[in-house]
Amino acid sequence: MSTAESAAGSAAEGTALLEIDALSVAYGRRGGRPGQQILEEVSLRARAGEILGVIGETGSGKTTLARAVVGLAPVTGGRITVDGAEITGLRGRALREFRRTGRIQYLFQDPLRSLDPDLTVGALVAEPLAVTGTGSREQRAERAAEALHRVGLDPGLAERLPGQLSGGQRQRVSLARAVVTRPRLLLADEPVSALDASNRNHVLRLFDRLRTELDVAVVVISHDLSSLAGIADRIAVLYRGRLVEQGPTAEVLTHPLHPYTALLTASAPSVRREHRIPPGRLRRQEAAPEWALEGAGGCGFAARCVFADDACRAAPAVEARPGAREVACHHADTWRGRLSSPELAVVAVGR
Amino acid sequence: MPASSLSEPAADTPVLAVEGLHITVNGGRTEAVRDISFTVRAGEAVGLVGESGSGKTLTCRSVLGALPPGVQVSAGTATLADRGGGSTDLTGLDRRGWERLRGVRLGAVFQDPASYLNPSLTVGRQLAEPLMVRQGLSRAAAHRRAVDLFTAVGLHRPAEVYHRYPHELSGGMLQRVLIAVAVSGDPELLVADEATTALDTVVQAEVLDLLGRLRSERGLALLLVSHDLAVVAEVCDRIVVLYAGEVVEEGPTEQVLAAPAHPYTEALLRVASLGDWSRRELAVIPGRPPEAGRAPTGCRFADRCAHARPECRDGVVELRSAGEGRRSRCVRLEALHLSGTVLQEVSA
The pLDDT profile of chain B, 348 residues, written as one tens digit per residue, is 344 433 333 457 899 999 999 999 988 889 999 999 999 999 999 999 998 889 999 999 999 998 999 999 999 999 999 877 888 999 989 989 998 888 889 999 998 888 999 999 999 999 999 899 888 999 999 999 999 999 999 998 999 999 999 999 999 999 999 999 999 988 999 999 999 988 889 999 999 999 999 999 888 999 999 988 989 998 999 999 999 999 999 999 999 999 999 999 999 998 887 777 878 888 899 888 888 888 888 999 999 999 999 999 998 999 999 999 999 999 999 888 888 875 544 433
pLDDT in tens, B48-73: 999 888 999 999 999 999 899 999 99
Report the C-alpha gap between B20 and B78 in whole angstroms. 9
CB contact under 8 A, A268 and B231: no
User: Which chain A residues have a beta carbon less than 8 Å from that of B156?
Assistant: 287
Residue A37, SS3 per DSSP: strand
Residue of A nearest to B345 (CA): A274
Q: How far is A93 from chain B (nearest CA, A)?
A: 39
* DSSP class per residue in B106-125: EEEE-S-GGGGS-TTS-HHH
Strand blocks (E) in chain A: 16-27, 36-47, 51-55, 75-82, 85-86, 104-107, 185-189, 217-221, 234-239, 242-248, 319-321, 325-327
Distances (CA, A) of A157 to A108, A122, A124, A127, A154: 21, 8, 12, 16, 6
Cβ within 8 Å, pair A226-B274: yes
**Any B CB within 8 A of A164 CB:** no
**pTM given for the model:** 0.88
Closest CA to A184 of A101, A66, A92, A67: A101
Is B228–A197 a contact, with Cβ atoms under 8 angstroms apart?
A: yes
Q: Which of B100, B111, B96, B77 is nearest to B225 (CA)?
A: B111
pLDDT digits (tens, 9 = 90+) for B285-310: 988 888 888 888 899 999 999 999 99
The interface residues of chain A toward chain B in range 216-275, judged by CB-CB distance below 8 A, are 223-227, 229-231, 233, 249-250, 253-254, 263-275
- Angstrom distance (rounded) from CA B187 to CA B194: 19
Enter the DSSP assignment of B317: P
Contacting residues of A for B282, CB less than 8 Å apart:
201-202, 204-205, 208, 227, 230-231
CB contact under 8 A, A225 and B277: yes
Q: For testing the chain A interface, which of B217, B231, B279 should be mutated: the one with the most A CBs within 10 Å? A: B279
Residue B44: CA count within 13 A, CB half-sphere: 19
Interchain pair B288, A166: CB under 8 A: yes
Contact B238, B250 (CB under 8 A): yes
B88-131 pLDDT tens trace = 999 989 989 998 888 889 999 998 888 999 999 999 999 999 89
CB pairs under 8 A between A and B: 146
Phi, psi (5° rounding) for residue A62? Answer: -70, -40
**C-alpha span between A21 and A81 (Å, rounded):** 8
A190 vs B: CB within 8 A: no
Is the complex ipTM more than 0.90?
Answer: no
Q: Do A268 and B206 touch (CB under 8 A)?
A: no
Interchain CB distance below 8 Å, A57 and B200: yes
- Residues 201-240 on B with a CB inside 8 Å of A are 201-206, 208-209, 227-231, 233-234
Phi-psi region of B58 (alpha: psi -120 to 50; beta: other; left: phi over 0): alpha
In chain B, whose CA is at the least distance from the CA of A262? B202
